[in-house]
Amino acid sequence: MADAEQPQIYLITPAEFELLQFPQTLSRVLDVTNIACVRLAMATRDEDRIAKSADVLRELCHARDIALVIDSHVMLVERLGLDGVHLTDGARSARKTRKTLGADAIVGAFCGASRHDGMTAGEAGADYISFGPVGATPLGDGTQADPDLFQWWSEMIEVPVVAEGALDIETIRALARYTDFFGIGEEIWNAEDPAAHLGHLLSAMH
């Protein structure tokens, strides 16, 4: 990725949110920052709740020409009129998912810190590869995707890359030259003013 290009923002919803309040919060963020894509990343497995949330978010995103993808639920993409899916199993289901959804759908793959998984998913037809967490977090097994991985990827691989997980000002500054997207979610939703906090984080890219 050329140094002159700034990474784009890939927005990740909270795992839990109230449908009465969150759409207004999301709208404010979408209206003040240029967002490339939104990922519906709900923890619930209640299909009805996911569908209702997807319907509301799809209208907000599509009215602004922003793609909306969903975590994991490949079979809901077409049914809910979404733009694609974010796979959380590395490269394992990328090829099958591409076949299921066709050439036009967005298929992304989260590959942790595995260069090999990322390359395999890219070869299997993934539109982007996501690595993370890029910052320190007590969640997971402690493995981090370090800046060297992003630098290598940006120099060697054509498939766009997303940096996500425990982002802060320092991490954004360190990775801005080497990533195509920053996957930002929990970092802003707990702030009093998520839109302003996102702007604060993005100031590190300048």
- Hey, what CATH topology would domain 8-205 get? TIM Barrel (3.20.20)
Q: What is the pLDDT of residue 1?
A: 31
Instruction: Give this prediction's pTM.
Output: 0.96
pLDDT beneath 70, residues of the chain: 1-4
In 70-146, which ranges are continuous DSSP H helix? 76-79, 94-101, 115-123
Name all contacts of 199-203 with Cβ < 8 Å and 24+ positions apart: 199/32, 199/33, 200/169, 201/167, 201/168, 201/169, 201/172, 202/9, 202/33, 202/172, 203/169
Q: What is the pLDDT of residue 79?
A: 97
Distance from C-alpha of 27 to C-alpha of 23, rounded to nearest angstrom: 6
CA neighbor of 131 nearest in space, from 123, 148, 139, 177 = 148
Distance from C-alpha of 94 to C-alpha of 100, rounded to nearest angstrom: 10
Tokens (6 digits) for 88: 């959380």
Q: What is the pLDDT of residue 174?
A: 95
In Å, how far from its chain's centre is CA 91? 16
181 beta partners: 8, 162
Please provide the distance, in angstroms rounded to a whole number, between the alpha carbons at the two ends of the chain: 16
Tokens (6 digits) for 18: 């109230």
For 127-156, how does the pLDDT look when each residue is reduced to its tens digit (9 = 90+)? 999 999 999 888 778 899 999 999 999 999
The residue type found at 105 is: A
**Domain locations in the chain?**
8-205
Q: What is the pLDDT of residue 124?
A: 97
For 78-96, how does the pLDDT look when each residue is reduced to its tens digit (9 = 90+)? 999 999 999 999 999 999 9
Q: What is the pLDDT of residue 2?
A: 36
